[in-house]
A and B are shown apart, each in its own frame.
Chain A
Amino acid sequence: MSSINRLYFFLTISILLIILDYFGQINFIKAPADNIIKPIKKTIYSTNLALINFRSIILQYPHMGNMQKQLDEMKKNNDELSLKAGLLQEENNKLRKQLEAPLPSSYGFIPAQVVGVSRYMELASGAKENIAVGMSVIDGSVLIGKVISVTSDRSLVRLVSDPETVVPVRTSRGGAGVITGQAGGGISLTKILQKVPLFLDDLVVTSGEENFPPNLLIGKVGYIVADDTSPYKQAKVNAEVNYNTLTTVFVIIST
């Protein structure tokens, strides 16, 4: 087969694959592939996390002497604290039930292991664990993103910091707005009316629209763009968590 014929052959197969995949006709290929891809990604991702930790340890090396002294003091304190810990644990369990109530009790959570964070976050759980497209993903009470694609064993989450993300939010002072991701991983808060007060460190939480559960924390206002001629205020939001270092997240299912 000549070079040009081979090129047309592969181009045709590519187009055919796109059409078949669009209509979900080749999932029988994707499902077994997941079983190979998932462990590879899991290993690479966890190795990368370990390397990040190792790098921070190396950077701390010059301060090792001081750290040893601090460690000795901390050991003493630890003994005292462990005594108190037992009592506090019991109290904590009771408080947790109350404090963890920003989400409706009708919500269920599916724990999912993170196996990669590139543009999207990839989870090692999929349709088999009842994860579906459109479900919100959280870490504690912090919104991570929304599920946009699911196979039997894997799912992709579009992060809050993705340029295609649009989440209706409100601030801790009551102002309503919208957050969108920015190229490079930042989060931008827009559509806040000029008359609404907005200050640094104001909390930004979901308003409950667009199928996002209400009162999920996104971050804090880190920088306000002052432009009195515009009808809306703009601000940059500092994300509450580092999406690149998460290992386990929870997918919300409403029951």
Chain B
Amino acid sequence: MIWTAILLLVSIILESTLWPYPLTLVMVFMLISFFPQNSLLLIFLAGVILDLFNLRLLGMDSLIFLLIYTVIDRYSKKLQKENILFSLTILGTALITYNLLFFRNFDPVETLITLVLSGVLYVLIKRFFTRERINGRLEV
């Protein structure tokens, strides 16, 4: 959890200082996808800190991150959560909405590259860091 928090903080600093790109959103998405338990506080704090760094209305990013959490949580019970296409569809929608809302920018190539990289990251995290890997068995 500490490493996750550090990664989130790094992405917040990079996003708010150097790159006009929703790096934190991607990190939060991975957090929600793989470690939903006890991640709510971290997601909320990440949003508040991102708002402080970007001088946005405090709570705005938290609200968006929590809404993404709600969507994933709600639909993961109805759809196949393990299907990477489901996750990337939600991430793609979130990225486009977030980019248009905060950066007034929609670059299809950039979004596609992010989705491909996120897909790779998704597979890597699933392969090496999730519980099913650690325990060596699938959860039922």
Contact residues in B for A14 (Cβ distance below 8 Å): 44, 47, 59-60, 62-63, 66
Interface stretch, picked from B83-91, B103-111, B120-128, is B103-111
Contact residues in A for B15 (Cβ distance below 8 Å): 118
A48 to B107, CA, bound (A): 24
Interface string of B63-104 (1 = CB under 8 A from A): 100110110010000000000000000000000000000111
Q: Is the CB of A184 within 8 A of B107?
A: yes
Contact residues in B for A10 (Cβ distance below 8 Å): 40-41, 43-44, 62, 66
Q: B19: CB under 8 A from chain A?
A: yes
Interface residues of A in 134-183 (CB under 8 A from B): 149, 151, 154, 156, 162-164, 183
Interface of B, secondary structure class, is helix
Q: Which of B40, B53, B102 contacts A3 (CB 8 A)?
A: B40
| Shortest Cβ distance from residue A56 to the other chain B in the assembled complex, whole angstroms | 17
Most central of B13, B44, B55, B70 by chain A CB within 10 Å: B55
Contact residues in A for B19 (Cβ distance below 8 Å): 118
Q: Is the CB of B55 within 8 A of A151?
A: yes
Q: Which of B44, B53, B58, B102 contacts A119 (CB 8 A)?
A: B102
Q: Is the CB of A44 within 8 A of B103?
A: no
Q: Is the CB of B57 within 8 A of A21?
A: yes
| Shortest Cβ distance from residue A169 to the other chain B in the assembled complex, whole angstroms | 20
Contact residues in A for B58 (Cβ distance below 8 Å): 17-18, 20-21, 26, 29-30
A40 to B12, CA, bound (A): 11
Q: Contacts A14-B59, A149-B55 known; A118 to B17 CB distance under 8 Å?
A: yes
Interface residues of B in 17-74 (CB under 8 A from A): 17-20, 37, 40-41, 43-44, 47-48, 52-55, 57-60, 62-63, 66-67, 69-70, 73
Q: Is the CB of B52 within 8 A of A33?
A: yes
Interface of A, secondary structure class, is helix
| Shortest Cβ distance from residue B19 to the other chain A in the assembled complex, whole angstroms | 6
Q: Contacts A13-B44, A15-B63, A183-B105 known; A45 to B57 CB distance under 8 Å?
A: no
Q: Which of A48, A115, A119, A151 contacts B103 (CB 8 A)?
A: A119
Q: Is the CB of A6 within 8 A of B106?
A: no
Most central of A10, A30, A117, A183 by chain B CB within 10 Å: A10
A-B contact pairs, 6 of them (CB 8 A): A11-B67, A14-B44, A18-B60, A20-B58, A119-B102, A122-B17
Given A118-B17, A154-B55, 5 more A-B residue pairs with CB atoms under 8 Å apart are: A15-B59, A17-B57, A162-B104, A183-B104, A183-B106
